[in-house]
Amino acid sequence: MRRGSAASAALAVLVVGLLVTVGVQHTRHAQAVASVRAPQPVVQLTADQIPAARHNQQTTTSNSVGRQSAARTEAKSAASSVPAQQSKYPLSARLKALVPKSTLLAHLLKKTAGYRTATSKHPNMHIPQYWYGYRTVLPIIAQKNHRLKVRLERRPNGSTTWIRDSVVGYSTTKDAILIDLKYRRLFFFKGGHRKLSAPVGIGAPGDPTPVGSYFVAFHAPPPNSGYGSVILATSAHSTTIKDFEGLKDAIVGIHGPLGEEAAINPNGARVSHGCIRMLNPDLNKIRHVPNGTPVIIVKH
């Protein structure tokens, strides 16, 4: 996703600087340059590997088995609370209809011309193959005349354009994120089915989180543990902050709580300048969503 290790670290720091955060103590991102780390890859077991993994679990020591048993009990207890938690925040049919069951994604293969309509003869913009050093992946929302209508990660919020279907690669995702600002809640969906309901920190009244249809533009490595395991930089931009820390933009990110765990849990809080803050265990459940994943932000 990124070109060159040295450039990656520099770009990660730049991106974090662009992300909107709350609290003066967290605004000096440049001081965290030396602490940037790339997120570790996650190993997922294939169907063929699962039996072997189970056998390895059965041959552990009794102490390890005891610890696993305790962990399973804790996980079971946590899982049993999810239905009650989710039932407290029912989603209307209108909101559920906003969440796609599957989204087709366009991976730009090169710098690409954008057109105002599906039939325009001349382009009115160009979309770079990389945005802040990360490969451009855009959700497709319409197709016509061998052209694709895609969402863009740039200002103004909600920007779209038409591109030729011959200049992209394709993938699909069943993941989607819905954020309800009224209840200060993030819902994660897979294939149209709700998998997570989590309290979040949202923008304070003076710097609200922008409403609209967006997407995950890229995954940025966090500069310190306060941001959690990853920063999901979205295509949303602050509507009140145009130039954050002199970096010419203010991208809305989804990241860790930055010390506001007590305020966020259990009902969410208005504690940021527009970013979405999550408790670390909840952030870890969505950290692997692919770039291009839809992010819908509503006021209920």
CA pair distance 109, 248, nearest whole angstrom:
27
CATH code, 103-173? 2.30.30.40
> pLDDT-derived band of residue 28, with 50, 70 and 90 as boundaries?
very low
CA pair distance 14, 89, nearest whole angstrom:
37
Neighbouring C-beta atoms of residue 271, cutoff 10 Å: 22
Q: What is the pLDDT of residues 148-203, one digit of tens each?
A: 999 999 999 999 999 999 999 999 999 999 999 999 999 999 999 999 999 999 99
The residue that leads in pLDDT, 28 or 10, is 10
Asked whether 297 and 212 are in contact (CB, 8 A), the reply is yes
Mean pLDDT, residues 206-215? 97
Asked whether 271 and 264 are in contact (CB, 8 A), the reply is yes
Beta-strand pair 251-255/276-278 = parallel
For the question of whether the overall pTM of this predicted structure is more than 0.85, the answer is no
